[in-house]
Amino acid sequence: MRKVNGKKLGIGVLCALLLAGAFLTGHYAGAASKTPGGAEDPLITLGYLEKRLAEASGSYEKVQLNKGEKLLCGEGTGIIVLGGSVVAAEGGLVDVTAGTFTEEDTSMFLYHSYIVPENDAGCEALSACVLFVSGEHGIK
């Protein structure tokens, strides 16, 4: 049987203790207990976003536009772009997320919340798109 050098054994034990300490520190800090998509880890999916928006007000409707179609809305209608390429139409929109005004023919950002400032304003689809709309609206 071969004898183990005392120095090698001491280094091995020290490494094992350091690894165990690092694991326990991470565990107690909560690294292993976070639920993906939960409050501690805010990365979300599109399905989660759609569900939460629908629950938040109960009045958002999922609207799909084809290329070239316009969404014309009543004053105060809310619009959130979920997918596709869309520009503001017929006068522009208020970008509530950025705190700016989006002029006519200017691209709208994904996941930003827009408010229609006057009747018959809205957006135009440059490609097939998906929107969440809250309020009076029609497709032209």
Model pLDDT, residue 127: 96
Delimit the domains of the chain by residue range.
1-33, 46-139
Model pLDDT, residue 71: 96
The tens place of each residue's pLDDT in the chain, 140 residues long, gives 455 565 676 777 777 777 777 777 766 666 555 565 566 666 777 777 777 766 665 588 999 999 999 999 999 999 999 999 999 998 899 999 999 999 999 999 999 999 999 999 999 999 999 999 999 999 99
Say whether domain 46-139 belongs to CATH 2.60.120: yes
CA distance 59 to 132: 10
Model pLDDT, residue 1: 46
